[in-house]
Chain A
């Protein structure tokens, strides 16, 4: 199998398999989570605070007062990483072509050089966050194997994408195949690792906000 064959495999069979596992996993977990159910809350809601769930979705997305100063690395690197990754995935022309092909939805792209810079910023942020995880005793204690796995799964597509774009390490065709395969690995494991927060983050934020609201802890 040569590089182009590998790329053909990545764009064909492997992509289909990865999307199938990803879609299966996401639906499975969503049904599982929603199907868990809750016991009926028989107590009356505390001073009702309608919209608490929605407000929490927003409030938890921005740092609480004073926290950026207390833990600048986590917050700043966290934001840089997430925003960089978001733009890299959604505003790079070749990625938009893929989305357009699958969903028939498309939008304008950003200049490739700008996306490239943001991808680099994301990679640096990921490295900083890993170093911080190692050096901060509390974070280190809280870290499990799953966290490292999620870190590797996220770094690989960024790194291989960067190397492919700049024609580094291996020839472009092979690197592009590796890039697509690394994304497929990410897709397949996404529903079964903490990366599932891509889907669940706002659902859980809404739920936490709503239940706390009922109990009188309005956000």
Chain B
């Protein structure tokens, strides 16, 4: 709902942009409260957040897409428009995004160079997709290899945000046998702060939340050992899963959509990777907070973890072997039996050799010794 209370903000700021779009201060504050709770900040921080965001200058953002499926972009644009998250996203200055921008070819590249030039040292570089090192020709944009474009764009960036599992950890392109020699952003760029927002794709509100955090505080949020913001990736899906009590009671669904699954029993046996997956799906959920995979009856596939694609079948329980072991077991048992027979044969022949070599002593021998 539009109200008559516009923002009184400087030109070129987020506040001005919001005012122009007719976003009410009330709605904006509501968004800031949500954001504060999302970022695990005290409730009192909401107005501070609001003030900071409203007066922040529109942040120049360059978004590079390399070996990717556009799922990350799809995800961030699907935040049920028009939501405030979406507006905040619109209100950054997205200076280059070759999927979303109207310009193409030379003009597009010029836009990127212009933005880099105008905001050197200040712009935010967002990357989705992995970078192929096998052959520069595997993935190019306007004739520039992904590797060269990343190095060029990273040079003047304030911060790099790698979104999606491909950009953060190599993702599906890196899956065995990694035909393109795909690597992640952090494998290449070593001298810039990098925020990793993994997920295939990442949760929209997590992407916008991290951007808002940077916009508000001007610094990167606290990260874990894998470069992920702790507020969103601090706990596993399993930690926050509503089916967890059933896991603890040992009550498991045996097949998809059976009576047990419908009653909310745990999906561990159906291959759920929730216990080893750090992400916020169980709390923020998807599609405007509607649901998340486990709620719809499918186990978590662990898409936000490094190398998840090679971490065993999606439908194998976490405690199951990744590769079949029966063949190994049979071969090893046969080899053990054969070795056992060989050892036995050796022992026995030693025994009979000893028996054969055994010299019996006669009374005469003893008498001879006495003499």
Contacts and interface: CB of A to CB of B under 8 A. Distances in A.
B325 A102 contact: yes
Given A4-B307, A24-B339, A32-B343, A95 B319 contact: yes
Given A19-B328, A27-B333, A110-B250, A8 B312 contact: yes
Given A93-B250, A172-B275, A8 B322 contact: yes
A102 B332 CA distance: 15
A28 interface: yes
23 contacts: A4-B276, A8-B310, A8-B322, A11-B321, A15-B325, A16-B321, A20-B329, A24-B333, A27-B333, A27-B337, A28-B339, A31-B336, A31-B341, A35-B343, A94-B319, A98-B320, A98-B321, A101-B321, A111-B248, A115-B250, A167-B239, A172-B275, A173-B276
Closest 10 CB pairs of A and B: A31-B340, A35-B344, A27-B336, A94-B319, A20-B332, A24-B336, A12-B322, A23-B332, A97-B317, A173-B276
Interface in B284-338: 302, 305-308, 310-312, 316-323, 325-326, 328-329, 331-337
Contact of B276 (A16, A21, A112, A172): A172
Contacts of B252: 93
Interface of B: 226, 236, 238-239, 247-250, 252, 268-269, 275-276, 302, 305-308, 310-312, 316-323, 325-326, 328-329, 331-337, 339-341, 343-344, 347-348
Interface residues of A, number: 45
Contacts of A167: 239
Contact of B318 (A13, A27, A94): A94
A21 B320 contact: no
A23 B329 contact: yes
Contacts of A22: 332
Contact of A20 (B248, B302, B331): B331
Contacts of A95: 319
A10 to B, nearest CB: 9
Contacts of A12: 312, 321-323
Contacts of A36: 344, 347
A94 B336 contact: no
Contacts of B320: 11, 97-98, 101
B335 A24 contact: yes
Interface string A19-49: 1111111111111100111000000000000
